[in-house]
Chain A
Amino acid sequence: MKFSIKRSAFIQSLNTVSRAISSKTTIPILTGIKITADSEGLILTGSNADISIETQIKIDDAKNELVIEEEGSVVLTAGFFVSIVRKLPDEKMDLSVSNDLQTTIKSGQSEFTINGLNASNYPHLPEIDTDDSVTFSGDIFKEIIGQTVIAVSTQESRPILTGVHFELSAGKLLAVATDSHRLSQRSINFSGSDRDYNFIIPGKSLNELSRMIEEHQDLEMRIAENQVLFIFGDTFFYSRLLEGNYPDTSRLIPEESTTQVQLEAPTLLASIERASLLSHASRNNVVKLTITPSDGRIEITGDSPDVGTVEEELEPESVTGDELEISFNPDYVKDALHSFGKTMIEISFSSALRPFTLKPTEDGDSFIQLVTPVRTF
């Protein structure tokens, strides 16, 4: 294999596939990047057992300045190879692989020779040969990921809760995640598919995917038995799906409430962030919210026996219903409020022990966050 390429274009693609590569893998060859040169260009592949990323550098794209002299493939240890390419002196670089897999990288006056691995030992990517694909707007999909992935569980005790549950049916796409302490649900109208889908994507995969989607980019999705493939630009992103049935979450969201508060999400966020400064120092990380509808006020308090206390009064847009005193983990509410951005939200409570909901006042049912309070007695 032998080719020359513009270094900046190569680095960009290397960064893309490096996202999937972990140095802590049990399969040694997966610490490497697979590089294949064929008549259409270069294909770079990186993988850990869960995520695989493949990206193409096309020969007919003049920006890449790609010239392939000899086709072939090799696997190079990602850590070394990526750092070498980044530090090379010239704008262009040459790479050639001899028969014994010795790989020579040349750029300007500098020349590296590193040992490659045989590409035929590299695991095959999952094959997804299905005709039906669904296309999303990348911006919207990214938004959905950002809003739901905050609630996935980080504990492996219930693996299925470490993923986001997607349900596509009857012209609606519903995405739900919960770690049993909080839940986040987003739904959008979606008419891009006649078929129904029901699948669970690991939260970690979604985090990586979301970082890779560029603005205004379309996202094509294909689903197979236990794999999902996302195609955007010249990149293929494969992820394992979580197997099993996601618990029924439709009954978790309360429909009735006895106390309602409307206010700007950033105002409450800032206030809870202040209160959590002290609650974090305490053994039980709890912030208390006291709601007095007759005064139209709410009060946020936090205390840590060792450090001190904080009190803050807020005047929300509106406060209705019964008086209430409720305690919660401020980190859950902070995550939830972050996901709303600058919008007016309504928080609905039904009792000091039952979960409460946060949703935007406009178009309320399309985005719901649910948080369980903490018992303080």
Chain B
Amino acid sequence: MNNKELYTGFKNMESQTKLMLTRFSELREAMNEVLEKNSELEIENQHLRELLESRSKEDHNPKTQPQKTQKHSESRKTLEKLFNAGFHVCNQFYGKPRENGEGCMFCDEIINRK
């Protein structure tokens, strides 16, 4: 292998590595989005199930009034689930993954606000 080939070889390898690096970060971002979407859908799914259940119950005994007070804590629960799934739910970092499972006092305040 002469010097020129060596040089172009290295050059090619460098550009390939660079390409791979951008591919890596693209993939990581994409995965992040998918994860976020996934937990959103999971929660959405659970919601629908709960709704379905309450509807079918209502159909059976239509006398029970839908509880208004429950509604409020329901959305809190959603946030809490998102938080437990490893995402920030606070204004500061909304939707970003929580690192090392550490707590966040902004999220805590929102979930437990009175």
Contacts and interface: CB of A to CB of B under 8 A. Distances in A.
Interface of A: 157-158, 161, 178, 180-183, 247, 251-252, 284, 329, 353-355, 370, 372-375
A284 B102 CA distance: 10
B58 interface: no
A295 B96 CA distance: 42
Interface size class of B (residues with CB under 8 A): 10 to 19
Contacts of B21: none
B102 A252 contact: no
A354 B101 contact: no
B103 A355 contact: yes
B108 to A, nearest CB: 6
A7 B95 CA distance: 57
11 contacts: A158-B92, A180-B105, A180-B106, A252-B106, A252-B109, A353-B108, A354-B112, A372-B102, A372-B103, A372-B104, A374-B101
Given A182-B105, A252-B105, 12 more contacts: A178-B105, A180-B104, A180-B105, A247-B92, A251-B113, A252-B106, A252-B109, A353-B108, A370-B105, A372-B105, A374-B101, A374-B103
A178 B103 CA distance: 13
Interface string B89-100: 011110010001
B41 to A, nearest CB: 23
Contacts of B108: 252, 353-355, 372
Contact of B106 (A157, A247, A284, A373): A247
The 3 closest A-B pairs by CB, nearest first: A372-B103, A180-B104, A252-B105
B113 A180 contact: no
Contacts of B102: 181, 329, 372, 374
